[in-house]
Structure 1
Amino acid sequence: MKKISIETLNDNFIEAIGKEWMLISAGNKDCFNVMTASWGCIGWLWNKPVAVIFVRPERYTHEFIENNDIVTLSFLGKEANMRSIYNFCGSKSGRDYDKVEATRLVPVETECGSVTFAQARLTLECEKLYKDNFKPECFVSQEINKWYGGSNGGYHDAYIMEIKNVYVNQ
C-alpha cells in the first residue's frame, strides 16, 4: 500500500462507485465492520476534497461509523473474485458473519489507525465533517421515496467526510 497525493488521483468516480462499487469500513484493526456501497460522491466542498456516503441506520457498519471519526472507502476492482467480495459484504451482516474470514479479505491498518484491505486497488481515508439524515418531507421529487420503507429499509444518513489520505496498491 503506497500513499499518494490526492492531486494525482484521476479515477472516474461515477464509474468506480456506481459500477465497481466500494467497501465502507470503520473501526480499528481489532474491531471494525465493512459493508458494500454503490451510492456515494467525491468532490470539493468547504475548500476540501470530500467524499459523501449514505448509510442506513439499521446497517451494522452504521454503529462503527457513528463511533469513529475515520472511515475508509476501499475500491477492489471489477474482477469476478472482487465482485463476490462486494456481493457478500453487501448482503450479509457483520452481526451474523465474520466477513474477513468468509471473503478472505486481508485487513491493513492505515496511517490514521483505521482499516483497509490488501486487495484494495485504491483506498480513501476520510475524516467525518458533517452528518444529517434524509427526511421524507425534504424530497423535492416524491419519486425518490420508492427507495424507502418496507423491505427497502429506513432513510439514509449522509456523511460528508474530508479525504485525508489516498492509498494505492503497489
Structure 2
Amino acid sequence: MSDFKEILAEEIKNNPFGLIGKDWTLITAENEGKVNTMTASWGGLGVMWGKDVAFVVIRPQRYTKEFIDNTDKFSLTFFDEDFRKELSYCGKVSGREEDKISQIGFNIEHLNDTPYFKEAKMAIICKKNV
C-alpha cells in the first residue's frame, strides 16, 4: 500500500458534496484480472440504518457497470485539481474501446483485493451490501 492511512468514515474531513459534485470521483472495480474505472460527479456518502454507506448510480450501458455487477468490492478515489484532465478523459472514453488507465498513466494499487489509484488524495474502499 502507498502512503495512505486507514481512517474511520467519521474522520473524513472533506465535504462529501464538494468531493463528489465538484471534485468528481473515479469509480473503480476489477473483474477477471482487468481493472476499469469511470468518472462520476454524482453519488453520495452518509449513514443508513447505523451503517456508513457510499452509493453510486451507473447507467446499464456503461462498461464499468459490468465490473461493479461482477464483484463485491470497488473503490471511490478522489484527486487534487491537478488531475482534472485525467478525470475528464476517464469520463469521456470507454474502457471497452481502449485501456484508459494506461493512457492517463495512473498506477493501480490494491487493498483487500480492491483496486484504487496511488495518485489519489483519498480512496474509499467499498463493499456492496445487497
Per the normalisation by structure 1, the TM-score is 0.71
Instruction: State whether residues 26 and 114 of structure 1, in contact with CA within 8 Å, keep that contact through their aligned partners in structure 2.
Output: yes
Tell me the residue number matched to 2:92.
91
CA displacement at 1:5 relative to structure 2 = 2.3
Tell me the residue number matched to 2:6.
3
Whose strand fraction is larger, Structure 1's or Structure 2's? Answer: 1
Tell me the residue number matched to 1:103.
104
Counterpart-to-counterpart distance in 2, 1:16 and 1:108: 21
Tell me the residue number matched to 2:53.
50
Counterpart-to-counterpart distance in 2, 1:16 and 1:7: 15
Counterpart-to-counterpart distance in 1, 2:57 and 2:29: 14
1:40 matched to 2:43: yes
Instruction: State whether residues 36 and 101 of structure 2, in contact with CA within 8 Å, keep that contact through their aligned partners in structure 1.
Output: no
CA displacement at 1:29 relative to structure 2 = 9.3
Instruction: State whether residues 29 and 113 of structure 1, in contact with CA within 8 Å, keep that contact through their aligned partners in structure 2.
Output: no
Larger Rg: 1
For residues 12-31 of structure 1, the aligned pairs below 5 Å read 12-27=15-30, 30-31=33-34
Counterpart-to-counterpart distance in 1, 2:22 and 2:52: 22
Which of 60, 70, 73 is residue 70 of structure 1 equivalent to?
73
**Residue 3 of structure 1: SS of its match in structure 2?**
coil
CA displacement at 1:6 relative to structure 2 = 2.1
Instruction: State whether residues 74 and 122 of structure 1, in contact with CA within 8 Å, keep that contact through their aligned partners in structure 2.
Output: yes
Counterpart-to-counterpart distance in 1, 2:45 and 2:51: 11
| Counterpart residue type for residue 12 of structure 2 | L
- List per-residue Cα deviations over 1:41-82 (Å, max 9, x = no partner): 110002110001010010000000000000100001222xx1
Aligned pair count?
127
Instruction: State whether residues 109 and 116 of structure 2, in contact with CA within 8 Å, keep that contact through their aligned partners in structure 1.
Output: yes
Counterpart-to-counterpart distance in 2, 1:29 and 1:116: 16
Tell me the residue number matched to 2:114.
114
**Residue 58 of structure 1: SS of its match in structure 2?**
coil
| Counterpart residue type for residue 64 of structure 1 | F
Identical residues among aligned pairs (%): 38
Counterpart-to-counterpart distance in 2, 1:109 and 1:56: 25
**Residue 129 of structure 1: SS of its match in structure 2?**
coil
| Structure 1 runs (4+) greater than 3 angstroms displaced | none
Tell me the residue number matched to 1:125.
125
Per the normalisation by structure 2, the TM-score is 0.92
Counterpart-to-counterpart distance in 1, 2:100 and 2:17: 26
